[in-house]
Structure 1
């Protein structure tokens, strides 16, 4: 039997850092390949109960069950997109009204700046013209980047369903591959890790869907109360974009403000929209996320924020979306491997009971 090599602490830390840097470098240079695979893996895990149900209850063959799962998932996504496109088309009919109200709103802002900051309208327009010229100079590069982004999105929309189908189809094949990689005495740990990963990802994605629905309903209700047109569409867009950490709600707020110009250019409506977004975010951050999201994924806020920032820097919005599930998977693996248990502990969000007891003991002695 081969004895494990015992390394000193500094050597272990060095190996861990080198491994992390290597993984990060590989992910950055191959993100266009790895990101769709990881997205498909998450969707496959989400659809796994449906796949098992079709295969056991209705006796579907594996191929038919996998195709049915992908088609059901695609139908849900297409249904949402069709509804949004229909509402956006209806909103486009009010383009002249939006343009008129936008001009009125901009004029009011110019007057407000002139009255309170003593900057003439001519100077303001001159400054805006200079900014516009600088933007036009970089316009070709921006358009080129946008075209590349759209083409990448279309490619991902095509290849992610294919990857999802293959993950479902070869599920047992991949599990057997993992079993062949490790010793038989560790198969129990592998089974526990895979089952926990399945539960964790399912809970996280279902929690995100619940959060999206609740935010959409609350935002739609708030916009309806203040009299914003297309409140259902704007609430749905806010709920969907809220899945993107930090920047999603800002984009949703800008879209909502622009859409509110279909009705009027009153400042009170825009202030009402800002108040509705702030209230919904307070409810989301202080009630929905702690009760629904954090209770399903035991990752502390510090590690979550760092992971989201790193994910966004390396793979954009997709990286931000994948950050929490990947951290959850990493924690599950770390918690079940003795040499990595400390790293799983530092990612958790629970206070140590022994440390709390020591604090109380010191207080009692004083």
Structure 2
């Protein structure tokens, strides 16, 4: 464990809080630059075993091994996107059926509201028109500009992240030597332990995410097939991928599934069946898959995870939400190996002591009372 200079508690607490605030401010101001770097770092750690295999076992040059790793990873992502695009093209051919069934479903909803809440269809449409006009007025032309900027940022990230990943793999030993030069030689063993644990933790987390994605995709696809949804394979895959985005991902997947189901029938029973499938899969995911697959690997308690995801989403959007858990895992590993920060590492962990009792000797209590 890395030992630190002894300071009063208030001084240590102040320095820790100031450091956290500085890191948060730097991340918020430079999120457009820092986020792709962090994403590339995670992908580089994931690809590190393949890079080591090519470079050490098969004697590939470092440059060639790094390029092959990035190309294989890019081919995997492109393969998934190509499969989804072909399936989406089939759904687009059923656009007229979706439009017709959507209008029928909206009409049924209007009738339901009219019969149960005594609001005429004209009043409902008038209210919806007012809300729509207000939304368009508030967004204005800025929506188009924001969309263009978002697409530009996405294209830039898709270009720069593979380059960063390649450079992380290529200069891996260079970065490790830099970290070793920052600290004293007697702490090199602790540094090696921290780096190895970070590697294992990130690998376990990303592999666990991929495993969770596969299981959720299979369960959702199977459930949609049972209830009779036409594009159950595509919708199961989309649900598994979007489930990687905490909180909002499953909501987006549910809306897409409901829209795709309108290619077949607008019946309310079908929509309720789809909602039931999503609810059941999410219950299995949240109560079985996440505790067994995710939390058991990163060992971060639910409170810290939720807070980190919320803060990450506020700071950097969807990318921040995705990066929150691995960054928390890295911080926890570092905190647990620095003496003055060890309590913070314990706070982030998911240790559940059966019962805590204050172990204070009676003599100390009596001495304080006498004083």
User: What TM-score do the two structures reach when normalised by structure 1?
Assistant: 0.95
Q: Residue 314 of structure 2: SS of its match in structure 1?
A: helix
| Partner residue in 2 for 1:269 | 270
Partner of 2:57: 57
Q: CA deviation at 1:69?
A: 0.2
2:96 paired residue number:
96
**Cα distance, 1:352 vs structure 2:** 3.0
In the other structure, the counterpart of 1:30 is 30
Kindly tell me: are residues 248 and 4 of structure 1, through their superposed partners in 2, closer, same or farther at Cα, counting changes over 3 Å? closer
Paired residues for 1:199-214 under 5 Å? 199-214=200-215
Instruction: In structure 1, list runs of 5 or more residues that go unmatched.
Output: 359-366
How many residues of Structure 1 are paired with residues of Structure 2 in the alignment?
356
Distance 1:182 1:312 in 2: 33
Distance in 2, Cα, partners of 1:158 & 1:117: 53
Q: Which residue of 2 aligns with 1:108?
A: 108
Residue by residue over 1:132-175, the C-alpha shift from the partner in whole angstroms, topping out at 9 and shown as x without a partner, is 11122124222221211111011000000000000000000000
Q: Which segments of 5 or more consecutive residues in structure 2 lack a partner in the other structure?
A: 360-371
> Root-mean-square deviation (CA), in Å?
1.4
The 2-side partners of 1:356 and 1:295 are apart by 27
Structure 1 segments (4+ residues) deviating >4 Å: none
Larger relative contact order (C-alpha < 8 A, sep ≥ 6)?
A: 2
Alignment of 1:175-214 (within 5 A): 175-214=176-215
Aligned to 1:9: 9
After superposition, what is the alpha-carbon deviation per residue over 1:215-250, rounded to whole angstroms, capped at 9, x for unaligned? Answer: 000000000000011110000000000000111000
Residue 135 of structure 1: aligned partner: 135
- What do the CA deviations read for 1:52-77 (whole angstroms, capped 9, x no partner)? 01112221000000000000000000
Tell me the residue number matched to 1:291.
292
Q: Secondary structure of the residue that 1:295 maps to in structure 2?
A: helix
Superposition pairs of residues 334-345 of structure 1, within 5 angstroms: 334-345=335-346
1:299-352 CA-to-partner distances (Å, cap 9, x unmatched) read: 000000000000000000000000000000000000011111010000010123
Give the drift of 1:357. Answer: 11
The alignment partner of 2:298 has SS state of coil
Tell me what 1:70 maps to. Answer: 70
Q: Given the superposition, is the C-alpha separation of residues 357 and 205 from structure 1 closer, same or farther in structure 2, using an over 3 Å criterion?
A: farther
Aligned residue number for residue 310 of structure 1: 311
Shift of 1:4: 6.7
Structure 1 partner of 2:151: 150
Distance 1:304 1:5 in 2: 30
2:264 & 2:142 partners in 1: Cα distance? 35
Equivalent residue for 1:364? none
